[in-house]
Structure 1
Amino acid sequence: MRVLWGAEGAAARGPRPRQSLPQVAEAAVRLADAHGLESVTLANVARELGMTTSAIYRYVDSKDVLVELMVDRAVGEPPTLTAATWQGSAREWAGALRERYRRHPWLAQVTPSGPPRVPNPIGWIAGLVEALSSEPGIDGMRVALLLDALVRSYSAVSRASQSAPPPEWLTGALSARFPVLTSGMHRDWSDPDEELAFALDVVLAGLAAP
């Protein structure tokens, strides 16, 4: 982790590492992109890099740390926001983050256990906070965390929508028990991006209200 922040200090004595920390993270990202997050183990990443499992511990000491490094690598550097309004900046930011989740669907499986500790996700938050800093009454940090949660949630829905649809009997049972939901159940919910856009409209309208 200290390496990512440029605070690793003097190099340790001994043989020079064969791989860099970004290379280890990139190998893990490739595994997750190809086979899902569940395929990422320290042993599998070591095998991907042509090293022993014991050697991988020179770079990371747990899967939790490895996943943090993977998230940093997958989300990449934050976008440059160019919209003329704060609402436009928020939409631009959310759209760029959604694209990262589209490229790496496993990101939606990563459950945050606290504030991010790696540079790129923090850079994303800082970028939106700065873009909203001149708007009176708008708490940029809260907005960034809220939009991050929205994008993650709808990306998870997108991933789940690729699985098999519910059986017909379940649809019928739900309609019978909860008739008020019948019309909604027959709507086309297959486009999570449309639902995300609606959620953004609601959130931004609420923030703009006096």
Structure 2
Amino acid sequence: MPTQNDPRDLPPGLRPAWSDAPRPRRGPKPSHTVAAIVAAAVELADEEGLAAASLPNIAASLGLTTNALYRYVGSKDELVVLLADAGFGPPPADLGAAGDWRATVRAWTHAALERYRSRPWLLDVPFRGGAVTPHRLRWTELLLTALDGAGLSDVDALGCARLVTDFARTAAERQRALDDPHSADAPEQAEELRAFLQPLLADRGYPRLAALAAAGRYPAATTVEFGLDRVLDGIAGLLTGSRR
């Protein structure tokens, strides 16, 4: 007889992410749902950032006590998992119709970047490994479908999907930093930093960086398209190698 896994061994939030049923508790019938709790958390995060989606704030927005929320979510960690999945949401309906694998992966990446741009608090959610919740897995499924169709093995397709996913998050984090006017790569700062650094770089043994600064190319941000093209080129090289 097979041994069932102890549900306590599952990551926080995984079980409720796949079911809207309230946590089993004694007492009166719950007046809310897990989905309603998470929707309230998303609204707070959209308005004031991830820190605002605290259990006391969510409870207050729904007219509940903080303790009452534990009828629906087991912990703050569990709530964050549910919040992140709901905040990222499903991929655009037409994303899988972008064309060949390269066009699909490019469209996928820009759709993910747009999701991060519209909800920058998603970048504040701690990274805890691969996707395991419904919406995030739907995004992964789209990537796998495109890469499988290109001819990659299941293992290589999964590895490339993770590469693209990681690139999108890193690119979004960098873009958020660039939007900060105090960032070293922000247009408002770049000229002043260049004027300050260029003579120092030349005098102290950084000839290549000094030349780039003199040409107005450092500090300067690498574009998303440059990085994405290199990722796509790498996947194309893997495809070529697998067909030999």
Q: TM range, normalised to the smaller chain? A: 0.7 to 0.9
- Aligned residue for 1:184, secondary structure, equals coil
What is the CA distance between 1:9 and its match in structure 2? 9.6
Change in CA separation of 1:102 and 1:35 when aligned onto 2, cut-off 3 Å: same
Residue in 1 that maps onto 2:159: 142
Change in CA separation of 1:19 and 1:7 when aligned onto 2, cut-off 3 Å: closer
Spell out structure 1 runs of 4+ moving beyond 6 A.
Answer: none
What is the CA distance between 1:13 and its match in structure 2? 5.1
TM-score, normalised by the number of residues in structure 2: 0.74
What does 1:72-87 correspond to in 2, within 5 Å?
A: 72-79=85-92, 80-87=95-102
Change in CA separation of 1:171 and 1:24 when aligned onto 2, cut-off 3 Å: farther
Name the CA distance, whole Å, in 2 between partners of 1:180 and 1:87. 34
Q: Is the 8 A contact 1:108 1:153 kept in 2?
A: no
Question: Cα deviation per residue 1:37-57 (whole Å; 9 max; x = unaligned)?
Answer: 122211111112221111111
Percent sequence identity is 36
Residue in 2 that maps onto 1:163: 180
What does 1:5-20 correspond to in 2, within 5 Å?
A: 5-6=18-19, 14-20=27-33
Q: Is the 8 A contact 1:77 1:123 kept in 2?
A: yes
Q: Which has the larger radius of gyration?
A: 2
Q: Which has the higher contact order (CA 8 A, sep 6+)?
A: 1
Name the CA distance, whole Å, in 1 between partners of 2:173 and 2:167. 10
1:184 aligned onto 2:217: yes
Q: Is the 8 A contact 2:109 2:168 kept in 1?
A: yes
What is the CA distance between 1:66 and its match in structure 2? 1.1
Query: What amino acid is the match of 2:75?
Result: S
Residue in 2 that maps onto 1:125: 140
What is the CA distance between 1:185 and its match in structure 2? 2.3
1:207 aligned onto 2:235: yes
- Aligned residue for 2:217, secondary structure, equals helix
Q: Is the 8 A contact 1:29 1:70 kept in 2?
A: yes
- For structure 2, list consecutive stretches of 5 or more residues without a partner in the other structure: 1-13
1:4 aligned onto 2:32: no
Change in CA separation of 1:41 and 1:12 when aligned onto 2, cut-off 3 Å: closer
Name the CA distance, whole Å, in 2 between partners of 1:77 and 1:52. 31
Q: 2:76 aligns with which of 48, 63, 66?
A: 63
Name the CA distance, whole Å, in 1 between partners of 2:122 and 2:68. 26
